A = this chain, B = another copy of it.
Amino acid sequence: MATPPSGRSTARYHHGDLRRALMDAAVATVAADGPAAVSLRGLAARAGVSHAAPVHHFGDKAGLFTAVAVEGFDLLADELGETWEGTGDFLEVGVRYVHFALSHPGHFAVMFHPDLQRGGDPELQRSKERAFATLRGPIVASGKAKDRRSLQAVSLASWSIVHGLATLILSGNLPELSLADADVLARRVLASRGDPLSPPSATQGDFRGARR
Contacts and interface: CB of A to CB of B under 8 A. Distances in A.
Contacts of A142: 196-197
A124 B168 CA distance: 17
Nearest to A192: B153
Interface stretch (A16-24, A41-49, A75-83, A112-120): A112-120
Nearest to A147: B202
Contact of A200 (B150, B165, B196): B150
Contact of A154 (B115, B160, B194): B194
Nearest to A129: B212
Contacts of A202: 146-147, 149-150, 153
Contacts of A129: 212
A142 to B, nearest CB: 4
Contacts of A63: none
A146 B167 CA distance: 27
Interface string A150-191: 101111111111111101100111100000000001001111
B112 A171 contact: yes
A26 to B, nearest CB: 15
A200 B148 CA distance: 12
Contact of A112 (B34, B165, B173, B195): B173
A192 B160 CA distance: 12
A125 to B, nearest CB: 9
A105 B31 CA distance: 24
Given A132-B212, A142-B196, A194-B194, A165 B173 contact: no
A36 B115 contact: yes
B144 A194 contact: no
A183 to B, nearest CB: 14
Kindly name the residue among A114, A129, A156, A212 whose own CB sees the greatest number of chain B CB atoms within 10 A: A156
Given A36-B36, A156-B185, 4 more contacts: A112-B173, A142-B196, A157-B190, A158-B194
10 contacts: A35-B36, A37-B115, A129-B212, A153-B188, A153-B192, A157-B161, A157-B194, A160-B165, A163-B164, A164-B167
